[in-house]
Structure 1
Amino acid sequence: MSEVSKWPAINPFHWGYNGTVSHIVGENGSLKLSLKDSKDQVELDTFVNKYVPLLKNGAHFKLSPYLFTGILQTLYLNAADFSKKFPVFYGREIVKFSDNGVCTADWVMNSWKNEYKFNQKTTSFDTGKFGDDEKATHPEGWPRLQPRTRYMTEDELKEIKKVDLPLVVICHGLAGGSHEPIIRSLAENLSRNGKFQVVVLNTRGCARSKITTKNLFTAYHTMDIREFLQREKQKYPDRKLYAIGCSFGATMLVNYLGEEGDKSPLSAAVTLCNPWDLLLSAIRMTEDWWSKNLFSKNIAQFLTRTVQVNMGELGVPDGSVPDHPPTVENPSYYNFTHENLMKAKHFKSSLEFDELYTAPSLGFSSAMEYYKAASSINRVDKIKVPTLIINSRDDPVVGPDQPYSIVEKNPRVLYCRTDLGGHLAYLDNDNNSWATRAISEFLSKFDELIV
């Protein structure tokens, strides 16, 4: 009997398009929140039930009847053409960290929609002026960016730093970035009403960013989130900060929240489709027929391409030995050789990638050992920030089993379980995401009503 058979597999014949939200709350209730302009307090669960109709316990939502399983939802999100949906403009900033590494922050620039005019004939924004501005601001030697994204000028960066609206930081999924449809949908929903400043923090090496140190991101890689939030809090100490983590970005965010405890400057956080138990997800992606054949290889090749395009920094001569014993705090990337890269190009799962690269670089004996240690389920009990969790039971990447018993013990966490939605999808008839609307509604009401 294979190890994955201990858990129920996703059933591709379990179908529907009328979804339901269920709250998972512990016997001690949930965190009490203080309302603005009132001495009253309201529990997190009650707050959502009263002020966030999309997410209240028992709420129903409709998805596309053509995408009637989580597998179809996830496949369509990753395969369909969303180029004309969610036309968000981003201004890119290169963010430098204390270890001399960099990532990129893509700030939502709604004002650019007026500057770069919409062409009714082509149903897209004119690229002429935008292309000129993109060339003028693009740093030498850096990869070409995704549509509607360019680097900002020094003056534009100064203007961004003057904005003191509540800030929402979005953390994307594995080897993804600001260009992903679901991330653009989130950014568009959150920035539409002008209540929030929104930024996507692209992980090192992702979204056509460069890697400038030997430090590649892992589930343990929480230092960039920490430093970026600290930087933003220092600029405007009194404004609220929020964070959203999607998929692997949710794992990193929860690990950060658990490590940081009550020191985090965040007022609230949201996770969407977090693979809570990385070990369980890895087994599912390698042994469950549907997950293995439809999704696993694509993820492995995304990771391999991230390594390939950054071999100039990561790569070391074949046969080299580490200059120090690898640990989580002090990783060593001696295994990023050209020989190993050739092997990785044939990988069919992220487990193979982590077995060759990630686990050894952190000092773990195997990918399974790394997954056990790095899973965010280990740290959810230490979260001190009000946190909304959304996971679907028909998610082909995460699977139907969720950490209810552990979540129930932390009153600061509200688990919204849905029966439908797939992985990061939740697509309706118009290819809009119910989940991104729900998250936007939650943060909008939280910022409006909670101290």
Structure 2
Amino acid sequence: MVPTPYLFSGWLQTIYLAMQARKRDQLSNVRYDRHILDLNDGGLVPLDWYPIRPIRKSSRTEDEKLSTIPDSKTPIIVIIPAGMSTSGEYYIRCLVKALYDKGGFRAVVLNHRGCCSTPLTTPRLLSGDYTGDLKETIAHIQSIAPGAPIGAIGFSVGANILTKYLGEQGENSNLAAAVTIGCLFDTTKSFNKMDEPSFFNDKAFQPHLTAAIRKYANQHREMILTGDAEFDFDAINKAKRLKQLDTLLTSKAAGYDTCEEYYRAASSAPLVHSIATPYLAINSNDDPAVPVDAIPYEAIKSNPWTALVTVDHGGHLAFFTGIFPKIWYINPALEFLGAFL
């Protein structure tokens, strides 16, 4: 990959991606078909389908019967966004459109609990150690589209959840193939990296992430307070660093005493050796959120099911190439998934 010449560092790549968040162009112009999935513990997750969710023929309206609906055997790709990201992000929309237009895949974005104007109905928050929502989503897809091959793509925290899920399930993942972009792998090292002081981190990355988490927490404050843990919302609203919020909010909501315990439990690196699904990880050596030593090179190399691609310049989830920046990893991801689905 040759990076965009004027996006020559990981921080510049990452900041440029953030600036494109709501951009709409021909590469990203999609309209989702939303379905709210009821989870076994009473939680809700918004599933955003493109171009349309699978509908049993007997349940279709006359208009739906006449419309262009992918065949029930069309492969389905589950997309797990980064933390605090949703199906509305530019990088997600670009991927979703390419999956259908170039690969012929139906896509479904597994948005996190409490996102996309969906109420939080249990005290469980997005947590890097919990793979249950992904597991239930895959089972749901199997029930409404039996026989359709299923793949998955995860980003950042979503990539870590996907990797952890694959390691936990081994041969029983019910996925034909998986791709991760910017996986954290060792969450202790990755979150320590994110906490390092620097101009871009202090002025852009940390303020952006912490503001989103504080907004999410306050939006769902009433439900969060029904959980077993005690939360200090005054401290939460004063927190300026991601690690502070992981200490005050995320780790407590997940049932851990400290964020260090939470990070150890959330790390997917120890489970890479157990993956038994075709798996491709794409990471950047200048990722400001994932240090090179967080990537389990030897575990990936020694597992015949897993492969790793690293590039020198791509930032966190950005990977822009060309004078007029386009996201590079979409084509390799499509090629890999297409080989197995």
Aligned to 1:105: 47
- Matched residue SS, 2:234: helix
Aligned to 2:307: 414
Aligned to 1:315: 225
1:334 is aligned, of 207, 215, 229, to 229
Q: Is the 8 A contact 1:285 1:291 kept in 2?
A: no
Aligned to 2:330: 436
1:91 to 2:33 alignment: yes
1:423 is aligned, of 301, 311, 316, to 316
1:221 to 2:115 alignment: no
Deviation string 1:119-148 (CA, Å, 9 cap, x unpaired) is xxxxxxxxxxxxxxxxxxxxxxxxxxxxxx
Q: Is the 8 A contact 2:20 2:90 kept in 1?
A: no
How many residues are paired up? 328
**76-85 or 271-280, which moves further after superposition?**
76-85
2:189 is aligned, of 277, 280, 287, to 280
1:240 to 2:133 alignment: no
RMSD: 2.4
2:100 is aligned, of 184, 187, 191, to 191
1:347 is aligned, of 239, 250, 255, to 239
Quote the Cα distance in structure 2 between the aligned partners of 1:231 and 1:161: 18
1:445 to 2:333 alignment: no
Match for 2:302: what amino acid?
K
- Matched residue SS, 1:357: helix
1:405 is aligned, of 276, 291, 298, to 298
Deviation string 1:398-419 (CA, Å, 9 cap, x unpaired) is 1232221222222210011111
> 1:210 deviation in Å?
1.9
> 1:252 deviation in Å?
0.8
Aligned to 2:82: 173
- Matched residue SS, 1:93: strand
What are the within-5 Å matches in structure 2 for residues 352-391 of structure 1? 352-391=244-283
Q: 1:180 to 1:157 in 2, by over 3 A?
A: farther
Q: Is the 8 A contact 1:255 1:379 kept in 2?
A: yes
Quote the Cα distance in structure 2 between the aligned partners of 1:371 and 1:266: 26
> 1:438 deviation in Å?
2.0
Quote the Cα distance in structure 1 between the aligned partners of 2:103 and 2:277: 24
- Matched residue SS, 1:345: helix
Deviation string 1:314-344 (CA, Å, 9 cap, x unpaired) is 234xxxxxxxxxxxxxxx44324xxx22322
Match for 2:209: what amino acid?
I
> 1:82 deviation in Å?
4.7
Q: Is the 8 A contact 1:314 1:333 kept in 2?
A: no
Q: Is the 8 A contact 1:426 1:434 kept in 2?
A: yes
What are the within-5 Å matches in structure 2 for residues 194-213 of structure 1? 195-213=104-122
Aligned to 2:56: none
- Matched residue SS, 1:189: helix
Q: Structure 2-normalised TM-score? A: 0.89
Match for 1:432: what amino acid?
K
- Matched residue SS, 1:191: helix
Q: Percent identity, please.
A: 33
Aligned to 1:38: none
Q: 1:308 to 1:333 in 2, by over 3 A?
A: farther
Q: 1:161 to 1:217 in 2, by over 3 A?
A: farther
Q: 1:81 to 1:250 in 2, by over 3 A?
A: closer
Q: Is the 8 A contact 1:387 1:412 kept in 2?
A: yes
- Matched residue SS, 2:34: strand
Q: Is the 8 A contact 2:50 2:107 kept in 1?
A: yes
> 1:302 deviation in Å?
1.4
Quote the Cα distance in structure 2 between the aligned partners of 1:110 and 1:62: 35
- Matched residue SS, 2:307: strand
Q: 1:65 to 1:204 in 2, by over 3 A?
A: same
Q: Is the 8 A contact 2:160 2:183 kept in 1?
A: yes
Give the number of the structure whose alpha-carbon radius of gyration is greater. 1
> 1:420 deviation in Å?
1.2
Quote the Cα distance in structure 2 between the aligned partners of 1:351 and 1:263: 34
Q: Is the 8 A contact 2:176 2:340 kept in 1?
A: no
Deviation string 1:256-315 (CA, Å, 9 cap, x unpaired) is 111111111100000000111111111112224256313123212211211111123223
> 1:98 deviation in Å?
1.0
In structure 1, runs of 5+ residues without a counterpart are 1-60, 112-152, 317-331
> 1:229 deviation in Å?
0.5
- Matched residue SS, 2:214: helix
Quote the Cα distance in structure 1 between the aligned partners of 2:286 and 2:64: 42
Aligned to 1:301: 211
In structure 2, runs of 5+ residues without a counterpart are 54-58
